[in-house]
Amino acid sequence: QVQLVESGGGLVQAGGSLRLSCAASGSIFSIGAMGWYRQAPGKQRELVAEITSGGSTNLVGSVKGRFTISRDNAKNTVYLQMNSLKPEDTAVYYCNAKIIRVVGGSSFYWGQGTQVTVSS
């Protein structure tokens, strides 16, 4: 009933930029923390960045200074601005959000994933 739809992935050269978006829709009362994860081939999924409903952020050390996470609560959307991309950033990126449902209760939901490929 709740869906997270991602967009913005693609193929870029090292040093380039991409902006990922993830919009939540459905029977949503409110949204708590939102975040971005990535999974490279043969690797475990890892947390890249997260942002609380109040705007506090946390980023994995390897992307600090290059990536920025933000959100637009009016649009139920979280963004990941990725600058100075490196080949090691290549992965499928997934958004995640804690959704407080209109019908009650809360759960974490995942986006469908979007491929980011950085060529050297």
Cβ atoms of 52 and 69 closer than 8 Å: no
Q: Dihedral of CA 81/92/48/55: which sign?
A: positive
- Side chain identity at residue 81, one-letter code: Q
Distances (CA, A) of 77 to 11, 35, 36, 118: 23, 11, 12, 24
Give per-residue pLDDT as tens, 42-91: 999 999 999 999 999 999 999 999 999 999 999 999 999 999 999 999 99
Q: What is the pLDDT of residues 17-42, one digit of tens each?
A: 999 999 999 999 999 999 999 999 99
The two three-digit tokens of residue 55, written as one number: 């705007």
What is the Cβ-side half-sphere exposure of residue 106, based on CA atoms within 13 angstroms?
Answer: 10
What's the pLDDT score for residue 14? 98
